Chain A
Amino acid sequence: MNAPNAQRSMVEAVKVRKRFGRTEVLKGISLEVRPSEVMCLLGPSGSGKSTFLRCINHLERIDGGELWVDGELVGYREHGDKIYELRESEIARKRAEIGMVFQRFNLFPHLTAIENIALAPVRVRQTARDQAKDHARTLLAQVGLADRGDAYPAQLSGGQQQRVAIARALAMKPKLMLFDEPTSALDPELVGDVLAVMRKLAADGMTMIVVTHEIGFAREVADSLVFMDDGVVVESGAPAEVLDAPRHERTKAFLSKVL
């Protein structure tokens, strides 16, 4: 079995399905993200955007279809012509290569900013502690928080916490970053700082999938835009196309609400 575009796509979803009990949340999602591409995912609440992101790093197991990341099946390993489910440790190793940023930051409250960032490199990658902390300081400086390294999450504003969370994900040198509404929990005046960091990441060539309601950001930064509703991809294409000339009623209805 081969990915249709194994060498060229970072993420390739083929008719991905996911259900929770009786409700089918993803009803055959197909899309492709190329290396260094930024894809924005739009859609009304409950359309399955978070679930799809969680499937990509195997926080959820898919029930049907195929999901490829960087030429490998998510959660499975090919051996000969058979396919095996990965063991937990293998899944963990794969997850470490994909950064994830959450709506509610999910920083570890019992650790300082530096410790939050350095923990996974030390524990998961066995990086030397000093080296990991040095790298953490560099990353903090990159997200504009050079002087807040010793602060605990509770001592930081939402925008600062989210920037630490981005640095934490970057510390694992991921090949792909997933953002699940990274600015939705922020006060409007704090959104800009976080988006600025993401913009810089995109410019540096990071492959990103961003679930967002920030239409301005999507228009400016995204290479492609996907509109999801009720577990299916309704419309996708270049941001300007989808935003300015939506072809589907559901897209139009959604955009008229958020614009």
Chain B
Amino acid sequence: MLTGVAMAMGVVLGVVLATMWLSPNPLVSGASWFYIWLFRGTPILVQILFWFYLAALYPHVSIGVPFGGPELFGGASKDLIPPVVAAIFGLGFNEGAYMAEIVRAGINSVDEGQEEAAKALGFSRIQTMRRIVLPQAMRVIIPPTGNETISMLKTSSLVSVIAYAELLYSAQIIFSRNYKTIELLVVASIWYLAFTTILTIGQYYLERYFARGSSRTPPPSRIEYVVRNVFKLRSPREEGGMLPETPHAPGEPGR
């Protein structure tokens, strides 16, 4: 059950994130990039603990307000986010990040001519994705998704058998230890993020190397992509501006 719900969440999130990542809008693709970076880069257990603690702590502290801060609202924490839901959130949001990568790989496997033909017929980007690209990407998406499901099955049993007790136990510990646990988790997560960031950079250069010649325009590495998009943000396009009136553009070699 846990696996089913979390996996469904992951697949839906994955499709949405992958579509967002390929969006020409820098904010949209940036958000997707950040999500994947964060959720793929931190340990799953930390994420589950996070959701659980959020539930456990929320009635007593609000973010950024140290002890003694105003109590936002009371009531039993477990009514707000019970452990099962914390586990589903943790697994589902985490899975979304992995599925996004799988879906993206599937999308990239579809011939560029397909997108071009769809665009030429007047399909919007979303329609092209939904009607043309994704159905063809499924062949590539399904096998690793099977893997993910199996792996999820194992993780979730781990979560429900071990971590569940652990959750309750450590929740008690935090209360007795002045939140040290959370600090430790945050520190550990930062280290994980650093390492996975390095691995991610490696992955993109590898991908690009093996994608050479398979595409008219080589996909920018995710890092380059973000850098370029940030740059684009800073220099807004000439909305409502001039025509691309550059017959005598500067720096043009001229013939």
- Which A residues are closer than 8 A to B by beta carbons? 1, 15, 17, 24, 27-28, 57, 59, 61-66, 73, 76, 82-85, 88-89, 92-93, 95-100, 102, 104, 106-110, 119-120, 123-124, 165, 168-169, 172, 232
Q: A85-B239, A98-B120, A110-B135 are in contact. Are A123 and B125 (CB under 8 A)?
A: no
Residues of chain B with a CB closer than 8 A to A17's CB: 246-247, 249
Complex partner residue of B240 from A84, A88, A97, CB under 8 angstroms: A84
Stretch at the interface among B60-68, B109-117, B174-182, B186-194: B109-117
Query: Which residue of the partner chain, among A63, A64, A76, A172, contacts B122 with CB atoms under 8 Å?
Result: A172
* Residues in B neighbouring A62, C-beta threshold 8 A: 244
The answer to whether B244 touches A57, judged by C-beta atoms less than 8 angstroms apart, is no
- Distance between Cα atoms of A98 and B119 in the complex (Å): 11
Chain B contact residues, majority secondary structure: loop
Let me know if B208 is at the binding interface, CB within 8 A.
no
Place the interface of chain B in its size category.
20 to 34
Contact in complex: A100, B120 (CB < 8 Å): yes
How many angstroms from the CA of A96 to the CA of B122 in the assembled complex? Answer: 4
B242 near A83: Cβ-Cβ < 8 Å: yes
Asked, given contacts A104-B113, A109-B136, A110-B136, whether A95 binds B121 with beta carbons under 8 Å apart, the answer is: yes
User: Cβ of B241: which chain A residues have Cβ within 8 Å of it?
Assistant: 83
**B121 touches which one: A83, A88, A172 (CB < 8 A)?**
A172
Q: Which residues of B contact A89 (CB under 8 A)?
A: 124
B185 within 8 A of A: no
Q: Closest CB-CB distance, A180 to chain B, in whole Å?
A: 10
Residues of chain B lying within 8 A (CB to CB) of residue A76: 243
A82 touching B240 by the CB < 8 A rule?
yes
Is B81 an interface residue, CB under 8 A from the partner?
A: no
Complex A-B: 5 CB contacts under 8 Å: A62-B244, A64-B249, A88-B124, A92-B124, A123-B131
Q: Mark contacts of B96-139 with chain A using CB atoms, 8 A cut-off: 1 yes-contact digit, 0 otherwise.
A: 00000000000000010110111111111101000110011000
Find the A residue at minimum CB distance from B245.
A64
**Residues on the B chain within 8 Å of A84, using CB:** 239-240
Distance in Å: Cβ of A250 to nearest Cβ of chain B: 14
Extra contacts, 6 of them, besides A15-B247, A62-B244, A64-B244 (Cβ < 8 A), are: A92-B123, A92-B124, A100-B117, A102-B116, A108-B136, A123-B131
Contact call B127/A123, Cβ cutoff below 8 A: yes
Asked if B253 CB lies within 8 Å of chain A CBs, one says yes
Of all A-B residue pairs in the complex, the 4 with the closest CB atoms, nearest first, are A96-B122, A106-B117, A106-B113, A120-B121
A66 neighbours in B (Cβ, 8 Å): 243
B118: chain A residues within 8 A (beta carbon):
108
A185 to B221, CA, bound (A): 33
> What chain A residues lie within 8 Å of B239 (beta carbons)?
84-85
With a cutoff of 8 Å between Cβ atoms, the chain B residues found around residue A104 in the complex are 113
Kindly state whether residue B238 has any CB partner on chain A within 8 Å.
Answer: yes
Is B234's beta carbon under 8 Å from chain A? no
Residue ID in chain B nearest A120 by CB atoms: B121
CA distance A64 to B246 in the complex (A): 5
Complex Cα distance, B249 from A110, in Å, reads 44
Q: Please give, as numbers and ranges, the residues of chain B lying within 8 Å of A82 by CB-CB distance.
A: 240
B240: nearest chain-A partner, CB-CB = A84
* Residues on A with beta carbons closer than 8 Å to the beta carbon of B125: 88
Residues of B within 8 A of A168 (CB): 121
Contact flag A102-B253 (CB < 8 Å), given A76-B243, A92-B119 = no
A28 touches which of B122, B240, B245, B247 (Cβ 8 Å): B247
Contact A59 B244 (CB under 8 A): no
Expressed in whole angstroms, the Cα–Cα distance for A1 and B124 within the complex equals 29
When the two chains form their complex, are residues A102 and B124 in contact, meaning their CB atoms are under 8 A apart?
Answer: no
Alpha-carbon gap, A104 to B123, bound state (A):
19
Query: Please, how many angstroms separate the alpha-carbon atoms of A91 and B131 in the complex?
Result: 19
Chain B min CB distance to A196 (Å): 23
By the criterion CB–CB under 8 Å, are B247 and A108 in contact?
no
Question: Cα distance A1–B240 when bound, in Å?
Answer: 15
A123 touches B123 (CB 8 A): yes
Interface centre among A107, A120, A232 (most CB of B within 10 A): A120
Q: Is the CB–CB distance between B116 and A106 below 8 Å?
A: yes
Q: Which of B114, B238, B240 contacts A106 (CB 8 A)?
A: B114
- The answer to whether A63 and B246 have CB atoms under 8 Å apart is yes
Report yes or no: A108 in contact with B132, Cβ–Cβ below 8 A: yes
Q: Is the CB of A59 within 8 A of B247?
A: no
**Which residues from A are CB-within-8-Å of B111?**
106
